[in-house]
Structure 1
Amino acid sequence: MGRSMLALATLSVVVATPDSALFPYLTAQPDGPRCDGLRSLSLWCVGGGSPAALTIARVATVFVLVLVVVGYRPRWTCVPHWYATVSIGVSVYLPNGGDRAAQVATLLLIPLCVGDHRRWHWKTPTAPLAPWSGGSAYAAHLVLRLQVAIIYGHAAVAKLTESIWRDGTAVHYAMQDAYFGAPEGFLRLVESVPGLVLALTWGAVVLEVVIAVAILGGPRTRTVALTCGIALHTAFAVAFGLISFGLVMISVLTIAHTRSR
């Protein structure tokens, strides 16, 4: 489920975003995708960056991601999934914040999937992984959980260094942001309830701390982390429109929550 959701998040960006928005003109930057250094190996750069090449890259990316979404042959699609995710993440000039997490997650999914012989990843496994594959899968899953703990722990600590988070007004200012701000009606509703802005501000910090700690625990504790993550990112999606970012992070939490075979 988490793997399909992760691919769906990237797929939604690729399908719904035109080249002009993926690779907008920026001062002192060349037109098209970023192709400097190792980025030249990106799927969006290997064809030279022409309109035809970008179309081919988009079609190839969609093809790979659709295979992952439907769950076909995880053993054979895990590496293309990682490459497609990294390619879009390193080639755009304005990443959405979840790109890095998706790149790490798809990389760590390779050891989890390379020994999976199922035709569809929706099917219940009928046999355990081979010892060599099971060990690498366990290690990759543990590293992913550590990565999630670092992401949310760092986010919580970073917030606490800012006075607007400590005094409980950060959500007020965030909802008035010109780009990510909440709809006016929603903003009025939130601010009409005494203490709600304070509760939402500190609630975000508390949820991030809980996620960072709980994701390192056992299956039941990780369920707490997943539940908190769904609540947190659903709220962010409703208030700030961070839908793609939220879907990526919920997907990563879902994968981290699932026990490795």
Structure 2
Amino acid sequence: MFDRRIDALGTWALVRLGRDPFGLQVFVARAVLALGTFLTLVCNPAAILLHSGDPSATQAVSCVDVGSAGAFCIAGGGDLDTVRLVLAIFCLPTILGIVPAVSGWLHAYAAFSLSSNAIGIEGGDQLTVTLAILLSVASLTDRRLTAFTENRRPGTHVRFVLSNMLLWVCTIQVAYVYVEAALVKLGHPIWAEGTALWYWAQNSGFGVSKDGESLLLDLLAAPVISAAATWGTMILELVIAAFLVFGWRRRRLRLAALVLGLGFHLVIAAVMGLVTFFIAMTGALVISCWRPRDGYPLRLFRRLRRTALSTPGRKPTYEGTRVA
């Protein structure tokens, strides 16, 4: 009886989690996350990334605990701008989709070094590290040389079960980020009373322009608008988390979570100037909306190729194999 249950569980896991997950959606998520790390490293010199807030100190590398394994700590007193550019180069193979099983680890180390050694003010870098490591482990079963190569032998394989489980963990991690963000806000007095965004609009640590700040303050001066925007932010975060968790069999919920999340973070990027945070959350939302059956085929690429190769009145020269 026990053996039958084990066999049934194994069959269920193979059917549900044994499909090759490495399609367009996973590639886009990895590439977007790597792009955020790349832009942060390329656009900010070491003097900006590695600062302590003390005007008398030009650079301050954080080498606490596990952070000492970061590239900036290993370099010691070397040229930290050179280290920064090398780490940026580490991100390129992931952005280009080259050898996913290996390139993901290069990006994960670059993201880890940036998050652990630099002094940041937003959580996009930390989330990128977590997701990059999970994706790197999951991608160990990805045997392709490029992310644009299709699997010519679709089916279920035991080696994909762990990969699919880790990709599920990514979804739970992102949903938890939204839930925690909402609950932490709710526990703070200015968020609970509905005035938090009025204070945030005046925070000089973010990129709100003077004109934008003036307009926001005028709008948020109205108690109804301030309360609606403040409480609406927390409600929206909880809704996105719920859609991610309960969208396992409902593609519309996953699409709604993606659209709401992208719109939400786009507004934050436009108002507060947190562009790289928007990029990181875009990659996080894309991977958290993933499901095993979304992996193959790469319908978009295949449809474009059929369209390009076909002529009026002539059958397309390339016929793709449909996988449900």
TM-score (normalizing by structure 2):
0.73
Pick the aligned partner of 2:264 from 228, 232, 248: 232
Aligned to 2:159: 133
When residues 178 and 122 of structure 1 are mapped into structure 2, their CA distance, relative to the original with a 3 A threshold, is: same
The answer to whether residue 196 in structure 2 is matched with residue 167 in structure 1 is no
Contact 2:178 2:241 in 1 (8 A): yes
Pick the aligned partner of 2:93 from 67, 80, 84: 67
The answer to whether residue 276 in structure 2 is matched with residue 256 in structure 1 is no
Between the aligned partners of 1:25 and 1:129, the Cα distance in structure 2 is: 52
The answer to whether residue 122 in structure 2 is matched with residue 96 in structure 1 is yes
Aligned to 1:3: 30
Percent identity of equivalent pairs: 28
Pick the aligned partner of 1:14 from 41, 44, 48: 41
When residues 32 and 142 of structure 1 are mapped into structure 2, their CA distance, relative to the original with a 3 A threshold, is: same
CA apart distance, 1:243: 1.1
Contact 2:42 2:88 in 1 (8 A): yes
AA at the equivalent of 1:254? V
The 5-angstrom pairing of residues 29-178 of structure 1 reads 31-51=59-79, 54-128=80-154, 131-178=157-204
CA apart distance, 1:132: 3.7
Q: Greater CA radius of gyration, 1 or 2?
A: 2
- Provide the secondary structure at the position in 1 that maps to 2:74: coil
| Bigger Cα displacement from structure 2, 109-118 vs 203-212 | 109-118
Between the aligned partners of 2:44 and 2:67, the Cα distance in structure 1 is: 20
Aligned to 2:225: 196
How many residue pairs are counted as aligned between the two chains?
A: 259
TM-score (normalizing by structure 1):
0.89
CA apart distance, 1:146: 1.1
CA apart distance, 1:170: 1.4
CA apart distance, 1:129: 7.6
| Bigger Cα displacement from structure 2, 143-152 vs 41-50 | 41-50
Between the aligned partners of 2:281 and 2:176, the Cα distance in structure 1 is: 13
Gaps of 5+ in 1: none
Between the aligned partners of 2:138 and 2:155, the Cα distance in structure 1 is: 10
Aligned to 1:206: 235
Aligned to 1:223: 255
How big is each residue's C-alpha offset from its partner over 1:67-100, in whole Å with a ceiling of 9 and x where there is no partner? 1111111112111121111111111133532121
CA apart distance, 1:128: 4.1
4+ aligned runs moved over 6 Å, structure 1:
none
Between the aligned partners of 2:69 and 2:124, the Cα distance in structure 1 is: 21
Contact 1:33 1:91 in 2 (8 A): yes
CA apart distance, 1:211: 1.3
CA apart distance, 1:123: 4.2
Between the aligned partners of 1:159 and 1:128, the Cα distance in structure 2 is: 45
How big is the alpha-carbon RMSD for the aligned residues of Structure 1 and Structure 2?
2.4
Pick the aligned partner of 2:279 from 235, 239, 247: 247
Gaps of 5+ in 2: 1-27, 296-324
Higher RCO by CA contacts (8 Å cutoff, separation 6 or greater): 2
